[in-house]
Chain A
């Protein structure tokens, strides 16, 4: 089936530096790309998303970029804090036979060191 590749799987950064996570998708018809943050023992929570009619979106210290030509999208966290340490998942919309579905990447474990 369709896949979303997410890299890196582990990312360690120093506090106040920036962190970048990259994802690539296969289906050129994908038009919706959400990002989730998951803290240990909790459920994934939506933090930011972007649709294919945009190339860039920013919510406070989170920036998402979308390159439809390259079928690539990325999350950039500026001025990281220890509280940003968590698992991050990207996802891309796909087709589930009877309707739309989301395909998730395998996740990036971000560790922000004080």
Chain B
């Protein structure tokens, strides 16, 4: 079953705490993404990964880092979370060749208090 799985689905953290968002996919997709979604701003690309240990900054990478040690797994890390990082985070994956539409996970709703 083709699926992108995000954990956790909901998360509440205090300002300054570290946050780890996990994403997995079972399709052997080469490319994986992390987006955040805020009202009126659409989907903003944080990081993109083209394969294991091949990560590139997206449009808003500041305050985030990523890790991709296995093709099926892509993590987003917030070191010392800030209140303005409260958002909905979506992971997505796609085949690497010839532009394919990403398949999105269910999202993680993060609140930083």
Binding site for B on A (CB under 8 A): 1, 6, 9, 31-32, 34, 36, 42-46, 49, 51, 89, 91, 93, 96-107
The 8 A-B pairs with the shortest beta carbon distances in the complex, nearest first, are A32-B99, A106-B42, A34-B101, A43-B104, A104-B43, A97-B56, A46-B101, A99-B50
Q: State in angstroms the CA–CA spacing of A18 and B106 once bound together.
A: 29
Q: State in angstroms the CA–CA spacing of A96 and B48 once bound together.
A: 8
User: What is the minimal beta-carbon distance from A33 to any residue of chain B, in angstroms?
Assistant: 9
Q: State in angstroms the CA–CA spacing of A45 and B59 once bound together.
A: 22
Binding site for A on B (CB under 8 A): 31, 33, 35, 40-45, 48, 50, 54, 56-59, 90, 96, 99, 101-107
Query: Which B residues are in CB contact (< 8 Å) with A42?
Result: 106
Q: Which of B41, B44, B104 has the most CB of A within 10 A?
A: B104
Q: State in angstroms the CA–CA spacing of A49 and B103 once bound together.
A: 13
B42 in contact with A96 (CB, 8 Å):
no
Query: Which B residues are in CB contact (< 8 Å) with A103?
Result: 45
In terms of DSSP, what is the predominant structure of the interface of chain A?
Answer: strand
Can you sample 10 A-B contacts with CB below 8 Å? A9-B40, A43-B104, A43-B105, A89-B42, A99-B96, A102-B45, A102-B99, A102-B102, A104-B35, A105-B42
In addition to A97-B57, A98-B54, 8 A-B residue pairs with Cβ atoms within 8 Å of each other are: A32-B101, A96-B45, A98-B50, A100-B99, A101-B45, A101-B58, A102-B45, A106-B42
Q: Which of A89, A93, A99 lies in contact with B43, CB distance below 8 A?
A: A89
Q: State in angstroms the CA–CA spacing of A44 and B90 once bound together.
A: 9
Q: State in angstroms the CA–CA spacing of A9 and B42 once bound together.
A: 10
Q: Which of A44, A96, A107 lies in contact with B104, CB distance below 8 A?
A: A44
Query: Which A residues are in CB contact (< 8 Å) with B99?
Result: 31-32, 51, 93, 100, 102
Query: Which A residues are in CB contact (< 8 Å) with B48?
Result: 96, 98-99, 101
Residue of A nearest to B43 (CB): A104
Q: State in angstroms the CA–CA spacing of A2 and B40 once bound together.
A: 18
